[in-house]
Structure 1
Amino acid sequence: MKKSLFLLLMKIFGAFSTLATGMLISRNFGEEYFAEYSLVVTLIALGVLFSNWGTSNFVVQNFKRDNIDIRLTLLVNIIFAIVFIIIVLFFKNWLGIENFFIAIFSIIFYSLFLTKSAFLIMTGKQIKNSLINDFLKNFLLMISFFICVNIGFNSLNKIYALYYSILILISYFVIKDIYSLGGQKRQDFKVFFVQGFYITVSSIIILLLAQLDRFVINYFLDKNSLARYFLSYTLVSLISLFSQSLIVIYLPKVSEYIGNDNFESLRYINKNYSRIIIVFTLFQTIIYNIILKYIFLLYKIELYLNDYIVLNILMLGVLISNMFGIGMTIAAYSEDKLTLVKIQLIVLLVYLPLVVLTVKYYGIIGAAISFSICQIAVKYLLYLFYRKKRKLNLFFIG
């Protein structure tokens, strides 16, 4: 319990560091830069998933078998990250990040951190993992902005130059630590590529379902609308920090139960997990409705009635989706990856025209509605799959 509490505190601290970074950007560079920052955050997350290529999931599933090729893993992380960065830089004006493209280089470092996370989690070093991912990564970016802004260096290039110089030093120790934790078996690249394909495609689809609406808003609406929507979305996404803190504790057991087909134990973990998240979501919804106007004031962004509506629609989507359990986690670490990808692809194909139409005619409220519908749809379809095929009831009162 103490470990869970500490991990949650680290997640909260990292979240507040992220919020503070956004506030510094909005107050010192303006809404337009803050809106671009929201797009960059999405592209960075997409780039990390692509460059990681399912490595973290593979480590969790195969850690005890000592068949992880560390050298190939790190090489793929770095090369794939560079390829993604080159593509983004080529399309930076079309993507709407012409002022904030310097941030995209952090993909290289974040991809290495994600790989290291899997090793640390499987060796029971969740606290060390949280210190790197939640404290250092987010806190250092905030500090870099804070220092440079206060000494008169209102330049993104100078801010990120300071940030990257620190990350380079940290990455050296990260790579060194990965070699000490993992096996040294050699693996064929073709096998490695196939193993990571489904989970990478699945992760990218998840991200598109979660964050594609930002690019649609950027295309149909203005930067102010994007900034307002992103701020509400950021608040809602803080719930995932709490859920991640819980699932990190359970993950080794979940992986073990999946391997042993111990569905009864999985059901027990799922029930407790879902109920805690639902109560936490309800509590946060109340708090957010009270403090929303003050948060917008801190960011120097004007608040409208629509922003309250967007916030509550997003929170409702999170609440209902969590009622259908941890099917996505189970599928990601089991042989059901292909089923997960199929379900996500079907929902994505529905989501694409839906988000375009709703944003075009209903603005950011439409974006919130389409986002919530699709998040619920993925969880519900996985719930039906596990109930029918595996006789596993993932509903929170099952």
Structure 2
Amino acid sequence: MKQIYYKIVFSAFLAGLSALVSFGLSVQIARVFGADFFADFSYYISIVTILAVFSSVGMNQYLLLKLPIMNEDEIEKLNVEVDSTLVLICLPVLSLLSFFLYFKGESLITIISIVGISFFSSLFLIKQSVYIALKRVFVFQFCDKIVRNILLLVLFFFVSNYIKSFSIFIFFVFIGYLISFLLIQYNLASYSKFRVSKSLLSYSDVKSTYPLYLVLLSVTLMGNLDILIVDFLSTSKEVAVFSASQKVALLAGFLVNAIANILVPYFVKASEEKEGAVLNRQVRFSGLFGFISILIFLIIIFFTGEYILSVFGESYITGYPILLVLVINALLSAMYGQTLTLMKVKKEGLKLSKYIIFALLIKLLLTFNFYKYFGVIGIAYSSTLCIFIWNHLSYRFLKKKYNINTFVFQR
């Protein structure tokens, strides 16, 4: 348990550093390049994130569960098959994205840059699972988020006066992703580097990832659909304000994600060996750790939220109520503990995906009415209901079938 604690602390440190650097980059974009650039950047990154998960078809989750119990030769074979399958799937997806950008009137540089970012984002999902499964997630965190965003921060500091169009701006972002890929590739062992061949995953393997794929896609939609809805219903200024509130609120979730990334291999091992007492102890410890951290964050935001948002610019202070709701949403999810992780570990992905899709449908049905009556904050309210529904259903299922109580407030 002490070893897990140290890993969580170190992972939380890297996640916090990554969050701060990412936050700093968002502030720089909003202040230096203006609300329109920041809104367009947020909109396209949301699209890219959704497409990245869509293109992965759950293979990242498949790797996460399979690699910890494989030897190097088996890892190499599976790695090549996954990489080749990903490239094959990305070809039509990225072609459709190119047509979408073309009909939106984007320049050739913008199209190439966003398509490139989308491909690297899909690949990073796959390689993140490799790093996590091989217990080297710290290296991935450093290469993927910290180095790239620091590089972009420094780059934009020196060349911002020369960037007059969104095309040039997004091209520099693409360069940042390219450098991250090279670093990730360099730090992988030879048997797990990105390589393409004629070998593909078998249909049975791909089919087995569908429940996990639906889970990840649904979660990604819940996290990114709001920006697309705000863009559709409102103005660029509202998109920028909502995005800034999301960037601040995401700082609360990084620690919980860090805990989940560290504990997945331990959860898998305890589950396979049927060590119920060990698993329950790990679940309770991780859930309490995450809940307390987000509760502290909520208190900080309650008193300093307006000041933090003002860092983006004075006009962003109007997002304070949205920010509070988003952080409360994170606290609500943390209150139910590691429901998402345990449902995947217990191979209940299909059940989990049904819960999330049901919650997502409820959210979509209510979002537009919530927006009509409450304004932009209504979109955040719909997420609150969505988070409660799928977490509570998962909690009840785990408790009834496996006698695992993930709820933080338990006897």
User: Scaled by the length of structure 1, what TM-score is found?
Assistant: 0.89
5 Å-filtered alignment, 1:312-323, equals 312-323=324-335
Amino acid at match of 1:358: F
Question: 1:13 and 1:188 mapped to 2: Cα distance?
Answer: 36
Cα distance change of structure 1 residues 218 and 352 upon mapping to structure 2, 3 Å threshold = same
Query: Which of 275, 285, 301 in structure 2 is aligned with 1:262?
Result: 275
Question: 1:82 and 1:141 mapped to 2: Cα distance?
Answer: 28
User: Scaled by the length of structure 2, what TM-score is found?
Assistant: 0.86
Cα distance change of structure 1 residues 197 and 251 upon mapping to structure 2, 3 Å threshold = same
1:64-96 CA distances to partner (integer Å, 9 max, x unpaired)?
A: 234452222112223333433332332348889
Amino acid at match of 2:260: I
Alignment partner, residue 118 of structure 1: 129
Alignment partner, residue 336 of structure 1: 348
Conserved 8 A contact 1:52-1:77: yes
Cα distance change of structure 1 residues 155 and 143 upon mapping to structure 2, 3 Å threshold = farther
1:155-201 CA distances to partner (integer Å, 9 max, x unpaired)?
A: 44434444544544553564463642489996643123213222222
Alignment partner, residue 171 of structure 1: 181
Whether 1:141 aligns to 2:146 is no
Whether 1:241 aligns to 2:254 is yes
Alignment partner, residue 367 of structure 1: 379
Unaligned runs of 5+ in 2: none
Whether 1:85 aligns to 2:94 is yes
Amino acid at match of 1:255: V
Alignment partner, residue 393 of structure 2: 381
Alignment partner, residue 84 of structure 2: 75
Whether 1:200 aligns to 2:205 is no
Whether 1:55 aligns to 2:59 is yes
Residue 363 of structure 1, CA deviation: 1.1
Question: 2:231 and 2:105 mapped to 1: Cα distance?
Answer: 8
Amino acid at match of 1:296: L
Alignment partner, residue 225 of structure 2: 212
Unaligned runs of 5+ in 1: none
Question: 1:252 and 1:139 mapped to 2: Cα distance?
Answer: 30
Conserved 8 A contact 1:39-1:97: no
Amino acid at match of 1:153: I
Question: 2:299 and 2:378 mapped to 1: Cα distance?
Answer: 22
Question: 1:182 and 1:90 mapped to 2: Cα distance?
Answer: 31
Cα distance change of structure 1 residues 284 and 141 upon mapping to structure 2, 3 Å threshold = same
Question: 1:85 and 1:178 mapped to 2: Cα distance?
Answer: 28
5 Å-filtered alignment, 1:213-232, equals 213-232=226-245
Aligned residues: 396
Question: 1:54 and 1:281 mapped to 2: Cα distance?
Answer: 28
5 Å-filtered alignment, 1:288-327, equals 288-303=301-316, 307-327=319-339
Percent same amino acid at aligned positions? 19
Conserved 8 A contact 1:21-1:145: no
Question: 1:80 and 1:187 mapped to 2: Cα distance?
Answer: 11
Residue 368 of structure 1, CA deviation: 1.4
Alignment partner, residue 132 of structure 1: 143
Conserved 8 A contact 1:236-1:311: yes
